[in-house]
Structure 1
C-alpha cells in the first residue's frame, strides 16, 4: 500500500514557523526509516505540504501523522489517501515493493 498524505495549515505559514525544526526532524526520522519516500511543500507553499508513504497499513500511517509536531501543536491537519497500485513503472517497482504482475513499462 501507498499513502498520499496531504498536510494543510490551519493557521498562517508564519504562525506555524516555530514548529518547523521539529517537523523537519519528524520528516528526517520517517525518511531514514524508509516509510516516507517523498516529502515537500505544496505550491503555493502557504497551503501546506505532501508526503508519499509506503510499507505501513492505514492505521499506522494515521498514527504517524498524529505524531507530526505540526499536528500536535494544532497548526496543521492531514488528509490520508490510501492507494493500491494497479500499475507501476518498472523503475519504481522494487522501491515500492510492488509485485511483478503490476509492473507496466
Structure 2
C-alpha cells in the first residue's frame, strides 16, 4: 500500500487551473481500483492519496501522469507501507510481514 503526499509548488491559481483535469484523473484511478481515498490537506497546500499497486514503479508511473505533475504545480512524496491492520472495509488489502 502507498501513501502519496502532494505538495503544491505553484500558487493556488495555477493549481485551480488544472483542478478539473486532476479530478478526472483521480476518477480514472478509482475506476481502475488503484486509489482507496484522497483529499486536500488542511491548510490547502497539497493533498493525500491512499493507493494500492503491484509495486512502487507502477505507482510512480501513475503519479507521473497526474495533470498536476504534468503542469508542474505539485511534487509527490511516495511512502510504501505494509498494511497489517485495516478497518473491516479494507480487509482485502491487509498484508502480512514477509
Instruction: Determine if the TM-score, normalized by the shorter chain, exceeds 0.5.
Output: yes
Q: What is the TM-score of this pair, normalised by structure 1?
A: 0.84
Deviation readout 1:12-56 (Å, 9 max, x if unpaired): 1122111111101100000111100001101112x1101000133
RMSD: 1.6
| TM-score under structure 2 length normalisation | 0.89
The structure having more radius of gyration, on CA atoms, is 1
CA contact (8 A) 1:35 1:56 kept: no
CA distance in structure 2 between the aligned counterparts of 1:49 and 1:17, rounded to whole angstroms:
13
Structure 2's unaligned 5+ residue stretches are none
Deviates more, 1:47-56 or 1:80-89: 80-89
- Name the structure with the higher helix share: 1
- Determine the structure 1 residue equivalent to 2:91: 93
Question: Unaligned 5+ residue runs, structure 1?
Answer: none
User: After TM superposition, which residue ranges in structure 1, 4 or more long, deviate above 6 angstroms?
Assistant: none
